[in-house]
Amino acid sequence: MMTTWPAPAKLNLFLYITGQRPDGYHTLQTLFQFLDYGDTLHIEPRHDGEIRLLTPIDGVPDADNLIVRAARMLMKRAAETGRLAAGSGADIAIDKRLPMGGGLGGGSSDAATVLVALNHLWRCNLRVDELAELGLTLGADVPVFVRGHAAFAEGVGEVLTPVNPPEKWYLVAHPGVSIPTPVIFKDPELPRNTPKRSIETLLKCEFGNDCEVIARKRFREVDAALSWLLEYAPSRLTGTGACVFSEFDTESAARQVLEQAPEWLNGFVARGVNLSPLAQAIAGQAELR
């Protein structure tokens, strides 16, 4: 039976870089919230042990695709610990709405949804902690999607404290460029020494993103998008970009601004949610059992 699972977008409502580890990874303080908007995965269990991606992405070999890597990783861990029924496999298809290199966590969210959904469908019963730890090896943002609650994140993004920021409406705009995460993190001019603050202090301060200055400087499309949005509402970069977002108290206020957007600026309006659509789906499945 084909099953359908959401892979929501995230926003970094703020993002500060507090240092760099010896392995090159940056230590962050960031606030993740989900959107009720994202990709949709269709998963049908197979009984011959095969993992098949029915919707390959141009230019990305299946073996590198995070969806396939997540499925294989779960299969391996569950098999090693005697929690995989013989022949467990899956056909997986994706309706992709989230842009790559957009700062919305699309690839990480797809991987997290595969881990959570297959753990459920294959009845492996891995704990959420174990799924989050597996997910971290696929990407720094995967654990928050696995856990499914808005969170204040530290470390490289994996030390998570659940929080409940206001669930605002957002206009998310794509400036038409894709920014690979390492391009921003490798930039010599990136601010890397923002002092650490407590979550209480951070929530009281105006929100910002340390990557924004670099994304604006290196990508004129990002600069143009932010300059346009800032005329209407408080607006920022999400993650390492390229998407930017403006916050509003109502859906209609967000839609009014989107309607006026110039042709070169594509966007969508979505609600910020503290319980991810994936967590809501899995809770619904548990009730059905």
Q: Which residues of the chain form contacts with ligand C5P (CB under 6 A)?
A: 24-26, 28, 139-141, 156-157, 181-182, 185
Q: Are residues 219 and 244 in contact, defined by beta-carbon separation less than 8 angstroms?
A: no
The least CB distance from residue 220 to ligand C5P, in Å, is: 22
168 is catalytic: no
**What is the radius of gyration, based on Cα positions, of the chain?**
19
141 is catalytic: yes
Smaller CB separation from ligand C5P, 108 or 119: 108
By CB atoms closer than 10 A (0-12, 13-18, 19+), residue 127 is exposed
Q: Compute the distance between CA of residue 202 and CA of residue 29 in angstroms, rounded to an integer.
A: 9
Amino acid identity of residue 153, one-letter, is: A
Smaller CB separation from ligand C5P, 181 or 280: 181
> Is 198 one of the annotated binding-site residues?
no
Q: Are residues 254 and 35 in contact, defined by beta-carbon separation less than 8 angstroms?
A: no
Question: Which pair of structure tokens corresponds to residue 120?
Answer: 């459920």
Smaller CB separation from ligand C5P, 24 or 195: 24
Smaller CB separation from ligand C5P, 102 or 139: 139
Smaller CB separation from ligand C5P, 83 or 192: 192
> Is 100 one of the annotated binding-site residues?
yes
Check 39, 110, 141, 210 and give the catalytic one. Answer: 141
> Is 102 one of the annotated binding-site residues?
yes
> Is 38 one of the annotated binding-site residues?
no
Q: Which residues contact 205 (CB under 8 A, 6 or more apart)?
A: 197
The least CB distance from residue 26 to ligand C5P, in Å, is: 4
Q: Which residues contact 200 (CB under 8 A, 6 or more apart)?
A: none
> Is 208 one of the annotated binding-site residues?
no
The least CB distance from residue 24 to ligand C5P, in Å, is: 6
- Helix, strand or coil for residue 210? coil
The least CB distance from residue 112 to ligand C5P, in Å, is: 12
> Is 105 one of the annotated binding-site residues?
yes
Residues in the chain: 289
The least CB distance from residue 124 to ligand C5P, in Å, is: 24
In this structure, the strands spanning 51-53 and 89-95 are parallel
Helices (H) and strands (E) in the chain, counts: 10, 10
Check 10, 39, 110, 168 and give the catalytic one. Answer: 10
> Catalytic site residues?
10, 141
Query: Which residue ranges are tagged as binding site for ATP?
Result: 99-109
